A and B are shown apart, each in its own frame.
Chain A
Amino acid sequence: MSDKKLILVVDDDIDLVEALAMKLESLNYAVAKAYDGVEGFDKIKTRRPDLVVLDVMMPRKDGYQLCDELKQSDDYKDIPVILLTAVTDAISSTNYTHMGGKTTLADDFVSKPIDLDKLMEIVEDNLR
């Protein structure tokens, strides 16, 4: 088994997934890719990642739902989750209000358009 940390990138922006994967691989991470929340959870069950980079608005299952499932699971709650979101200003760093009034806890977030330098710092911080 590789010593590399495994990062799962989940986003329906297919080119963003590819661009992030290229960047993470260049920094010596292993990368798994998924394009919606259902596929994301399947990938997590197949091979547990060390960290998840997770878009919010996605088909089939959005990032809030997937984050909720992970954080409420004894098996997966310790996996750091970084949310990618266009929601800004009115949110705190780790608490989000879902459209339906639910809250979800991620470990950190990055606003879109993504500052890649900042995202890489956050990834590194959460993998320490």
Chain B
Amino acid sequence: MAIEATEKIRIGGLKFSDEQVLVRLPEQLAAEAELPGVLSALMQQKINVSFFCADHTVPFQAGFCLERDDLSRCRAVLEAMLAAGGPQLDIVGAVGTLIIFPHQGKLAVLGKLLGVFGRCRLPLFSLCSSLSGLAVNTGYPLLEAAAAAIQKVFVLPDNHAPFRPEPLAYPGDGSLSMSLTTPVETVASYWEPLIRIYGITRVSGLSITTVVFPETELEPLGEALQRAESGLGRFDLALMQRIDAHRFRLMIFDRGGLARSARLLPGNTDHGSGDLLSLHGPHFQDRYGVAHAAVSCLHSHGVNVRAVGCTGSSIQLAVPARIGDVAARALTDVFIVPKV
């Protein structure tokens, strides 16, 4: 059933992250050939990356979120990879990730969310969808304001309050009645040579719509997405990053419907096609090296990667059309896929 633009949409909830830092790579390091080295450097420093987004359309864009405590080590290894006097890392402090879920693959949900940020002039640094969530990086002090604005256009469950990261518990704090050698239900920080996941979904022949637009058009773009395909538009992956101080680039992977509605979208629109691999289950917040495993594996197999989106418990890799099967087989070098 089509959703009217003025109609509130029911969602399952909101999540907030802890305070993060967003690092945007200069184009030199955002290039496809350079990303494995960047991610390897982060992995060797045992830095958890809670959000990672890369788009290898020119100008290349890549950015990630990490804990503030990890920033100095991150800067040390990445700045060593950059030429003195050239473009440097762009670092945004006090960033928070707000996630709405489930998006149900509906462009109307994406459009309403973008519309809220545009209408309320909330900072929006980047966006990426996961299997269930739409993750938006905004100012950490503004998470509550963003949540309040979102609740004017989305219906949440009764008595819902945004989920926040759980406090950690350790054996030494006296709260445990038995001795444990490991923390209870904590966020681990570990690395695995082979990463267990819950499955890989492959979708072939997706349409890729790329829109470059000024941030003043964020609300109109959101409204246009809500109207796409008469309000029934769907997407498989959405990625958005700033390409400069005033413009965004949004990539939407879908089954072709958005291309038919592209004339409604403000800004410059381009179209392409590709395959999409979605890996389910690697908890980004729980370990380091996950994005590195995926990206470097495909790189070593000679598979071009058009875009990468890592957020929540999802890794999404856009590859050229008809390469999805090859890429999925390659990924079994580093990911354990269940037989079920």
Instruction: Report B-chain residues with C-beta under 8 Å of the C-beta of A89.
Output: 180-182
Cα–Cα, bound, A59→B105 (Å): 25
Instruction: Report B-chain residues with C-beta under 8 Å of the C-beta of A56.
Output: 185
Cβ of A86 and Cβ of B280 under 8 Å apart? no
Closest to B130 in A: A15
Cβ of B198 and Cβ of A114 under 8 Å apart? yes
Q: A17-B132, A23-B199 are in contact. Are A87 and B340 (CB under 8 A)?
A: no
User: What per-residue 1/0 map shows which CB atoms of B173-217 lie under 8 Å from chain A?
Assistant: 001111111101110100000011011010000000000000000
Task: From the candidates B184, B185, B198, name the one contacting A19 in the complex (CB within 8 A).
Answer: B198
Task: From the candidates A38, A39, A90, name the one contacting B178 in the complex (CB within 8 A).
Answer: A90
Q: A23-B199, A39-B157, A59-B166 are in contact. Are A90 and B181 (CB under 8 A)?
A: yes
Q: A15-B132, A59-B163, A90-B178 are in contact. Are A22 and B283 (CB under 8 A)?
A: no
For the complex formed, measure the closest distance between the CB of A128 and the CB atoms of chain B, giving whole angstroms: 17
Closest to A12 in B: B163
Cβ of A88 and Cβ of B182 under 8 Å apart? yes
Instruction: Report A-chain residues with C-beta under 8 Å of the C-beta of B181.
Output: 89-90
Q: A86-B186, A116-B338 are in contact. Are A14 and B196 (CB under 8 A)?
A: no
For the complex formed, measure the closest distance between the CB of B47 and the CB atoms of chain A, giving whole angstroms: 19
Cβ of A97 and Cβ of B177 under 8 Å apart? yes
Q: B99, B169, B314 — which one has the most chain A CB atoms within 10 A of its CB?
A: B314
Cα–Cα, bound, A120→B199 (Å): 13
Cα–Cα, bound, A27→B130 (Å): 23
Q: A14-B99, A14-B312, A15-B280 are in contact. Are A99 and B184 (CB under 8 A)?
A: yes
| A16 CB-CB contact with B under 8 Å | yes
Instruction: Report A-chain residues with C-beta under 8 Å of the C-beta of B132.
Output: 14-15, 17-18
Pairs A–B under 8 Å by Cβ, sample size 27 = A14-B12, A14-B15, A14-B133, A15-B281, A15-B313, A16-B280, A18-B102, A18-B280, A19-B199, A20-B198, A22-B199, A23-B199, A33-B12, A36-B163, A39-B157, A56-B185, A59-B166, A86-B188, A88-B182, A89-B181, A90-B180, A99-B175, A101-B177, A113-B282, A116-B340, A117-B338, A117-B339
A-binding residues in B (CB < 8 A): 12-13, 15, 99, 101-102, 130-133, 157, 159, 161, 163-164, 166, 169, 175-182, 184-186, 188, 195-196, 198-199, 201, 280-283, 286, 312-314, 338-340
